[in-house]
Amino acid sequence: PGVARYFHDLLLSMFVASGVHPRISQYAGQIPTLLALVSAGLGVALVPESASRICPDTVALLPVSEKDPSDRVNRVELDIAWSRETQNPLVPAILALIDEEGGDVAIDALGA
Sequence-distant (6+) residues with CB within 8 A of 22 are 15
Q: What is the pLDDT of residue 108?
A: 55
| pTM for the structure as a whole | 0.57
Note the pLDDT tens digit of each residue in 36-94: 999 999 988 888 888 989 999 999 998 876 676 666 666 666 777 888 888 899 888 88
**pLDDT(110) > 50:** no
Compute how many other C-beta atoms are within 10 angstroms of the C-beta atom of residue 35. 20
Ranges of each domain in the chain: 5-72
Q: What is the pLDDT of residue 72?
A: 61
* Structure confidence at residue 107 as a pLDDT band (50, 70, 90): low
Q: What is the pLDDT of residue 92?
A: 86
